[in-house]
Structure 1
């Protein structure tokens, strides 16, 4: 039972929560889009924390451009963010932050689109099959 929720997972959850607030209220870079911290994963030795984000583009930017700009801003501000987190979370070692784009939402959208297209195709095939069987019954 003790292994269900490990220390590294608890630290990752706390990092995610605190990091979301620090990014929202402390970083004032105009290149930064609306960033959501979707997941954090901390290594077992607490040396690194991989932080996964999603980005909503602002100011009419292209989504790909907003992702690249936001990741660049966050990776450049990783030292500042690490210092802010060290003040808020009492750990002996604060992990180095590495930011990555979380593409699970985009993959989910693509899968949803494929499922919807398959359902539409199956329904169309059923309608076509019932139309051809009705045509042969009338003859």
Structure 2
């Protein structure tokens, strides 16, 4: 039962944070950010928020700094919207799975082009 609740809360955090970041945050350092996933501890005290940011490494770092400085605002907005007794501490991390997938796809395309030329 607890695992189902944690999963539902994680999905709701993902949805709400995506909306807050896109509509409420006005920091110019923020790039094009997608919240790709949220992992919440079983006691709901901490939530790891996985992000995908389009742009250079510098733009990614700037976006992360902007989110870190807005953490208090994000937590308070999340608390208002979700009505949780305790809003989890947010920890932002980059999700490299999209980049990894793109790299694999590019390698496969290169291999296929090499086989076609033979």
TM-score, scaled to structure 1 = 0.78
How much does 1:36 deviate?
1.2
What secondary structure does 2:36 align onto?
strand
How far, CA to CA, are the matches of 2:28 and 2:113 in structure 1?
43
What secondary structure does 1:30 align onto?
coil
Instruction: Point out which structure has higher relative CO (alpha carbons under 8 A, 6+ apart).
Output: 2
Matches within 5 A, 1:1-139: 6-57=4-55, 63-124=56-117, 127=118
What secondary structure does 1:51 align onto?
strand
How far, CA to CA, are the matches of 1:99 and 1:71 in structure 2?
7
Unaligned runs of 5+ in 1: 58-62, 128-139
TM-score, scaled to structure 2 = 0.91
Query: Which of the pair has more CA radius of gyration?
Result: 1
How far, CA to CA, are the matches of 2:112 and 2:21 in structure 1?
41
Give the paired residue count.
Answer: 118
How far, CA to CA, are the matches of 1:119 and 1:24 in structure 2?
38
How large is the Cα RMSD of the aligned pairs?
1.6
Unaligned runs of 5+ in 2: none
How much does 1:10 deviate?
0.4
